[in-house]
Chain A
Amino acid sequence: MRFLLVVTAMLLFCFGCNKEKLPAKVDGRSFAIQVSGPITTVRNLPADTIIGFNSIGQPVGSGRYSFFSLERGQWVPNADSNTNRWDLAFAGTVIRVNNQTSGPGLGGAFVQTGTFESLLRVPTDSVFRVDNHPVSYAIARGSGRAWYTYDGPTNLLTPIPGRVLVVRTATGKFAKVEILNYYRGGITPSASAPDSVKIKDQRFLHFRYTVQLNGSGEF
């Protein structure tokens, strides 16, 4: 009896607050999506992972984006890239929003300084930027500009703590996104790790987000 109670309690606990979705796969690499209350956490999402080296020895991926729907909490097949079904697309350090040069949606984004938790509503004076591929992006590329710093000498990329991406989805809803890590397993390699590890484990994005489906800017 007690055993049953414990099991029921555990099941209730698991289903009540945590909704674990089955690990999905992109290009044969599995990633995980976990929902905990209003926060969805995505781990190990491949973002154009390294498949080899180009003629001048630089690591390169296949050039394909990972499309993701914040509203539905799912990876979106590349075939749907020209639809409103995705909100963010990831390839290496590039994050694109579904609007203008990137897609047919109402997407947009800007970078807010502060913690994820303390951002309770989208500020009323917010200006959402859009992509102008390949010249500029709503979420700027480059070390120290939007969400990451890259250190040439150690060859490591680290998300900047205290940066929240405020995103307008393809259908015009609001979300806040925090990039957590850029490496497989969610742990940045040590500065003294071999370059081979730093290369093969990079471009696995970890992020968490909250999307407000009722259309308001309150989180």
Chain B
Amino acid sequence: MPLLAQLDTLQILDEVVVAATRQEKRLGNVAIPVQLIQRKQIQQAGSMRLRDILQEQPGLQLVTGFGAGLQMQGLSPEHTLILLDGQPLIGRTSGVLDLSRVSLSGIKRIEIIKGPSSSLYGSEAMAGVINLITDNGVKPQAEISLRYGVADTKRGWGIPFSSQNLEHTEADAQFSFRVGKWNVKQSNNYLYADAISYRPFSQDRVPRPLSRFASQSVVQGLIGKKIDLRVLTRLSQDLFRQQFSVQNNGVTTASFGRERNNEVVFQPALTYRHSASLTISTKAYITKYTGDQELRFSSPGDSIYKDRFEQRLYRLENQLDIKKGSTSIVAGLGVQLEQANSTRYDDFSNKKENSVRYAFAQWEVKLGHKWISVLGARFDHHTIYSAALTPKWALRYQPNARLSFKGSIGQGFKAPDFRQLFLNFTNTAAGGYSVFGAAQAIDVINSLNQLGQIAERKPDFLKLSALRPEFSTGANVEINYSFTVPITTQLSLFRNDINSLIDVRHVATRLDGSQLFSYLNVNRAFTQGIELAVRWQLYKSLSVNLGYQYLETADKEERSRIDQGKEYIRDVSGAIRLMNTNEYAGLPNRSKHQAQLKLTYEPAIDRFVNLRVFYRSRWTIANSNGNTVYDHYDEFANGFLQVNLSGGFSINSHLVFQAGIDNLLNYQDVFYQPNLQPRTVFVLVRLKMPVKRTSTIQQSKI
């Protein structure tokens, strides 16, 4: 458990985790690999954004494009489920859930599960699961914090209140109190930032001020003695503005853009604790995401581009927990309805719908003191595509206190999403192209063909049919070893084999040469790698955490074409020759090496300094040498190193001061990482105050 620099190993193993087994379990007793990020670690990093925290975790890779997405075990963002108290967050663009959107206000810890977890969570939990656990607010207090940061792309160091700089201000207020038997926790977060974006394919900076607001409340209490009621509500809104002008052949076009995203989450849960061995819980989940984009040209005044996307998810779930002796059983049933309307589909007024009925069960048994076995499976029945059965088996063996082994093998799946089924998108810019969802492509292309608009239908057109879910088989092995000196090490190996991966393929060409794309189940791919984590407590006050991931990926068809001598490459000198297997770069946008280093100096409980370094090696951007595979001579983004520094101290038990520098080396890459913010200096003040337990005191007097 190298992540938790601040805690002793023993304490860590006592931490409770939920997501791994859908039951509260001590981390030390979980057979499935889990990483935990605690509130303290989030606070020390000085950021309230999920993006910033996950960026620093070993084995997790942030990728850009449609926001900050998460690449886990080499699988793309659409294959990792992001949960809030066990229920999925929605509102993905092109499969990416933008992690900058998610505020960590009111979140007490983050659980990271790697490896397929569809046996518990169903679709999308192919690479793994990120579960955000909200705070119940058992301890009544008020906490207010204010963060101010400043950066300057040109000068390198931001000067407050100057005109060229980029400033951000984040205010956060959390209150927890008790009303009778009820715990209430209210968290609010507001961020305003002078963010910038770069105009596509240029170095022109465009101001893109953004504001993000999030409000979350949790009400939890007992009804009678055995029933626990918990209601989570979360609202968030993001607003972006953008104003820029484009010069083309001496004509200047000024445009104004606005984007607004809203998210609502409502999650009531009833838990009935019948006895120590039997618990029944019922959860409802309602969530809605709306994204509105508008682009207006100042002249002509009527040229408005509007895009609207609305997604809703309703879910009802019932879960039974039985614990008896060394055995525990989890079983559940659920129904889900997902709906979407979008201007990106054929018509906004046409509602797209998919309903799912599912059942899952898990049987966990302890065999003596050394073995734990967990066997589980889930069945998902969909109305618009084929059903999925996903089993998983995990085993933990701990021969002694210093050594433990964990192994698991399981299936993951991802159902086709609405975009892959219904998208109807045309880019009219130079070289124009269109993308159609699989459910529409055949009809659209056939009717275009009748109008004489199609120049050719590619062989892939004939393969268009109903999309099937993507399936994967994943295996994970983890070895934990603690040396006598305070060094703990963790070595993990993983491999995911994905079948029927959905890919965008060129299926037809219009008469004007523009290409038509659609989604097909085509590829078989694998990702495999090694992850190493070392934690070394050098001195009582100084600790080092080191993380490293080595990743290999491949499209199996591409690899077999290379092995059969069917692929050629054009190397740096321009010479062409047969491609060697070792020149293959695998799936795009993957880095072979990734590393983190964290140094923490904590001389006292209320004082700390930490230095976090993370590295990502180069990754492929485009297939620039004309063959159909990514190889070493294609276009790569440079590998880079980012360093974040932060430190803090408390004046007394109420007041904490913190300051830091994000992106200390001021690494910037306008083309490939336009969202990477320049060196930012920030200060943060946090005020904590206990709230009088008025009602409880009165009760105790009586």
Binding site for B on A (CB under 8 A): 56-59, 113-116, 142-144, 148-156, 158-163, 178, 180, 188, 190-196, 198-199
Contacts and interface: CB of A to CB of B under 8 A. Distances in A.
Contacts of B428: 57
B635 interface: yes
Contact of A162 (B430, B433, B627): B627
B576 A116 contact: yes
B5 interface: no
Nearest to B199: A194
Interface in B242-287: 248
Contacts of A151: 622-623
A190 B638 CA distance: 14
A180 B672 CA distance: 27
Contacts of B509: 142-143
A162 B574 contact: no
B624 A188 contact: yes
B569 A161 contact: yes
A161 to B, nearest CB: 4
Contact of B512 (A58, A116, A148): A58
B481 to A, nearest CB: 45
A116 B577 CA distance: 9
Given A152-B517, A153-B433, A195-B431, A115 B625 contact: no
A111 B672 CA distance: 36
A161 B515 CA distance: 22
Interface string B575-589: 011100000000000
B628 A144 contact: yes
Contact of B576 (A57, A143, A152, A178): A178
Contacts of A192: 201, 621, 671-672
A160 B626 contact: yes
B621 A191 contact: yes
A115 B624 contact: no
A115 B514 CA distance: 30
Contact of A161 (B201, B517, B576, B635): B576
Contacts of A156: 622, 624
Contacts of A144: 458, 506, 628
Contacts of B623: 151, 158
Contact of B627 (A59, A150, A161): A161
Tell me the dominant secondary structure on chain A's binding face. Answer: loop
B306 to A, nearest CB: 21
Contacts of A59: 430
A158 to B, nearest CB: 3
Contacts of B432: 58, 152
20 contacts: A57-B428, A58-B430, A113-B566, A115-B568, A116-B576, A142-B456, A143-B515, A144-B458, A144-B628, A148-B626, A160-B627, A161-B625, A161-B626, A162-B567, A190-B671, A191-B624, A192-B671, A194-B202, A195-B430, A199-B430
A92 B443 CA distance: 31
Contacts of B556: none
Contact of A180 (B574, B577, B628, B671): B574
Contacts of A196: 248
A162 B456 CA distance: 24
Given A152-B515, A160-B627, A191 B622 contact: yes
Contacts of A58: 430, 432, 512
B394 to A, nearest CB: 41
Interface in B540-576: 566-570, 574, 576
Closest 5 A/B residue pairs (Cβ): A162-B568, A152-B433, A155-B431, A158-B626, A191-B622
B697 interface: no
Interface string B444-476: 000000000001101000000000000000000
A163 B570 CA distance: 11
Given A56-B512, A57-B428, A158-B623, 10 more contacts: A115-B578, A155-B430, A156-B624, A160-B626, A161-B569, A190-B622, A190-B671, A191-B622, A192-B672, A194-B202
B401 interface: no
Contacts of A180: 574
Contacts of B570: 161
Contacts of B10: none
B568 A159 contact: no
Please tell me the size bucket of the interface on B: 35 or more
A194 B624 contact: no
Nearest to B627: A161
Contacts of A154: 622
Nearest to A154: B622
B702 interface: no
B651 interface: no
A198 B576 contact: no
B604 interface: no
A103 to B, nearest CB: 24
Name, among A162, A190, A194, A196, the residue most crowded by chain B CB atoms within 10 Å (CB to CB).
A162
Contact of B201 (A143, A162, A195, A199): A195
B429 interface: yes
A54 to B, nearest CB: 9
A94 to B, nearest CB: 11
Contacts of B672: 192
Contacts of B628: 144, 149
B626 A159 contact: yes
Nearest to A180: B574
A145 to B, nearest CB: 9
Nearest to A197: B201
Nearest to A148: B626
Name, among A114, A153, A195, the residue most crowded by chain B CB atoms within 10 Å (CB to CB).
A153
Interface in B602-639: 621-628, 635
B619 to A, nearest CB: 13
Contacts of B567: 162
Nearest to A178: B576
Contacts of B566: 113
Contacts of B577: 115
Contacts of B568: 114-115, 160-163
Nearest to A188: B624
Nearest to A190: B635
Contact of A193 (B201, B514, B569): B201
A115 B576 contact: yes
B430 A158 contact: no
Interface string B342-375: 0000000000000000000000000000000000
Nearest to A164: B576
Given A152-B433, A190-B635, A162 B576 contact: yes
Contacts of A195: 201, 429-431
Name, among B567, B621, B627, the residue most crowded by chain A CB atoms within 10 Å (CB to CB).
B627
A162 B566 CA distance: 9
Contacts of B621: 191-192
A156 B621 CA distance: 13
Interface string B323-348: 00000000000000000000000000
Nearest to B432: A152
Interface in B498-527: 506, 509, 512, 514-515, 517
Contacts of B624: 156, 158, 188, 190-191
A49 to B, nearest CB: 15
Name, among A154, A163, A199, the residue most crowded by chain B CB atoms within 10 Å (CB to CB).
A154
Contacts of B625: 158, 161
Nearest to A145: B456
A196 B431 CA distance: 11
Contacts of B517: 152
Contacts of A190: 622, 624, 635, 671
Contacts of A56: 512
A205 B456 CA distance: 25
